[in-house]
Structure formats: structure tokens, C-alpha cells
Structure 1
Amino acid sequence: MRVLIVSDTHGKHYNLDRALEDAGKIDMFIHLGDVEGGEDYIEAVVECEKHIVAGNNDFFSQLPREDEFYIGNKKAFITHGHNYSVSMTKEQILEEGKVRGADIVMFGHTHQPYFEQKDGITLLNPGSLSYPRQIGRKGSYMLLDVKPDGKMNFEERYLDI
């Protein structure tokens, strides 16, 4: 199973299209918020299982603020992250993941890629495709490959400018 994980596209689809093309065939698509009206576009171009949550800039969106589902045999908890103070610390969202029994916690909001495995939980943020804030300022996303034996491989990817 191949999963494309993105965040903070802010209604701009050019880099999303590039990430979709670069990722190749995917089985699941995850958007961690600040889609800013891009839901219809994503619905039209992504032809697999989709999980999309609302971010702090999705003011009138009907998208859920959080979602829980399984990727293989691992429970995922996704949210934009602004309600968990992820710009300052990852402890609050880590604790929420523990309470929910999550194996993987995904969030956006900071526009910076982040990956950590702590207390048996994988925490990740794919960064932003549209407004990256990390050094080098390249749009970023993550790919998750789940092997037949259940082993998971996470890969940070960056778009060429």
C-alpha cells in the first residue's frame, strides 16, 4: 500500500499536481488541513481512498477537524495541529495520540517537515506544498509504503524549485 501525505496547500494546486505525479500510483491520500476550498479539486483528481481534515484557514469548511482510521493494522490519528499547539511543542499532540491509542499521529500547520518516533508512536508532519518554511523553502510531502508484512517505510520528499 502506498500513501501520499500532504498539508497546507492553501488552495494552490500546482505543487499538489506535481506531488501526485511524482508519487505515482497511490492507494490512499491524506491531507492534513488548510486545503482552502481545494476539496472539490482533490475529489476530482485523486482516485483512491481520501482522508482530509480542516485547518485553521478552512473557515467555512464542512471537513472534519480530526479523523481516525487504519492504515494496514496501524491506527492513524490526523488533525491540522493548531488546536494542539504544535508550533510550540509536540507533547500535547503526542499525549492525544496516546489517549486515542494511535500508532501514527499526523499533523500540519507548521509548514515544516517533522518526523519522530517516540513512546511507540510515529509523529509526522509532511510540511507544506505551497508555503514551505524550512531551510531551502522547497515544497514537501511524505510517502508511506506499507509492505506486505506490515512494515512501514516513511519518506520525506521535496519538490524541485
Structure 2
Amino acid sequence: MRIGLISDTHGSLKAWNQAMELFQDCQVILHGGDILYHGPRNPLPEGYDPKELANELNNLGKSLFMVGGNCDAEVDNMVLNHPVLTPYFYTSLEGLNILVLHGHKYSQEELFQLGKRYQADMIMVGHTHIPQIKHQDDLILINPGSPSLPKGEDKVPAVGILDTTEKTVEIKDLRNTNTLISSSW
């Protein structure tokens, strides 16, 4: 099974559509929060259209699981046909236990402790807009970055793809689909 990993779209329809090109063969999409609103500290992202992004999410035709981020509001649930889960989403897909949360209230060490507490194999977070994959013991922490408002030194718009059959996860550059970071378990 292929699973699309995305976070921090911040209302950018353009970024969502670019990500969907990479997610064509993904059966499930996990969204790590900050879905529709750009937030008071962020600029408007290119292609900002939260109303149309909500429409795209509502008509996706794939399994979509979203968690609330620090820029998401209660009103978002009024325009979305998929619940914005909070504070996290926990699932088992193809025998892989995955914990998804925005991550803004936790240090990296606290995230690993939370993952161990819930016997997760993977934790997916967002918030920092910086792609990363970290391992601690048998636990993998993944941040797919942001497709709309990338941060960090290189400011690369990014998303992730998790392949449970190949047992790999890749963070992809949306500008050229090159792999930025990859890991296996």
C-alpha cells in the first residue's frame, strides 16, 4: 500500500494539486494539520483558495485522514466532509501502527515517548514545515514538510510517500519530484 503524507497546506490549492500528482497511486492520504488557513504569522501562500481546497478534499475519492494543527479552526469542520481529528489520529495500515499529529505542542523527544506509549511504528507530524525523517530504536518520526510554505535553509516544497510493501518512506521535492530524504525499516 502507498500512503501520501502531507502537512501544512495552509489553504493552497496549487500546492494540494501538485501533491495530488505525486499521490495518484496512493490509496490513503494522511494530513498532519494546518489545512485551510494560512495563519496570522504566515504570508498568503501561492494559490491560496481555502474554499476550493475544501471542495477538493471533499471530493477526493480516496481515504483521507486529517489532524488539526495550530492554524486550524473549529469552523473548518463545517466545510469539510472529513473530520479534522484532534489531538491526533492513530491507525494500523498493513500492520504498521501510525500516529499522526501536528506536533506543535511537543519536543522531538516527547514525540518519540508518545509514539512508544501508543506502540506506534511511525509518527507523522507537521508544524515546522521542514522535511525530516528520524529513527529512535524501532520508531520512525516523519515530517513531510510543507508543499505551500516551506521553511528551513533550502525552503523546499515537499510531501512524503510511505510504501508499506517496500517498507520505505520518501520525502519528495514538489518542484521536480526528486527524493530529498528516504529511509527504510
TM-score by length of structure 2 reads: 0.78
**SS of the counterpart of 2:61?**
coil
1:56 is matched with which residue?
70
Q: Single out whichever of 132-141 and 100-109 deviates more from structure 2.
A: 132-141
2:9 is matched with which residue?
9
Residue 154 of structure 1 and its aligned partner are, at CA, apart by: 0.4
From 79, 103, 110, the equivalent of 1:81 is: 103
User: Could you give the per-residue CA deviations for residues 22-70 of structure 1, whole angstroms, max 9, x where no partner exists?
Assistant: 33221100100000254443121x2211110110000224421111001
Unaligned runs of 5+ in 1: none
CA distance in 2, matches of 1:122, 1:79: 14
Residue 91 of structure 1 and its aligned partner are, at CA, apart by: 0.1
1:156 aligns with 2:171: yes
CA distance in 1, matches of 2:13, 2:94: 29
2:33 is matched with which residue?
33
CA distance in 2, matches of 1:107, 1:4: 13
Unaligned runs of 5+ in 2: 37-49, 78-83, 177-185
Misfit runs of 4+, over 3 Å: 37-40
TM-score by length of structure 1 reads: 0.88
CA distance in 2, matches of 1:70, 1:109: 23
CA RMSD of aligned residues (A): 1.5
User: What letter corresponds to residue 123 of structure 1 in structure 2?
Assistant: L
